Amino acid sequence: MSNPHTSSSGESHGSVSSYIIGFVLAVVLTVLSFGVVMSHSLSPAGTLAAVSALALVQVLVHLHYFLHMGGDSEQRWNNMCFVFTVAFVAILIVGSVFIMNNTALHMMSR
């Protein structure tokens, strides 16, 4: 009989306790972000920095606990695909912003 948390290739898909830990961390980070914004205790720049940091931590929690992307050698292919996707999206966004800014700069100067 096979383990219900293992796929046909033998990869682990996490346990219930792992999912509960990830869910609790995600909820705590969401509540912290909401609290930072609603309390108005920080300056706008401080609020942006705090929410950005909490969002980055939440992305890492999701990647680790729900997508099971770790540093294992079995995960190397998934990690390479993820890094390529992030790089592609970053190039697409930065290139689009550059093109829009350059176009606006040249069209407004006349």
Residue 14 burial class via C-beta count within 10 angstroms: exposed 0-12, middle 13-18, buried 19 and up: middle
Model confidence at 70, pLDDT cuts 50, 70, 90, reads confident
Mean pLDDT of 63-90: 88
Q: Is the pLDDT of residue 14 over 80?
A: no
- Would you state the pLDDT for residue 105? 87
Tokens matching residue 74: 């079995």
pTM of the prediction? Answer: 0.70
Q: Please, what is the average pLDDT of the chain?
A: 87
Residue 46 vs residues 33, 35, 36, 41, 55: alpha-carbon distances, Å: 12, 13, 9, 9, 14
- Would you state the pLDDT for residue 74? 78
Instruction: Please give the single-letter amino acid code of residue 18.
Output: S
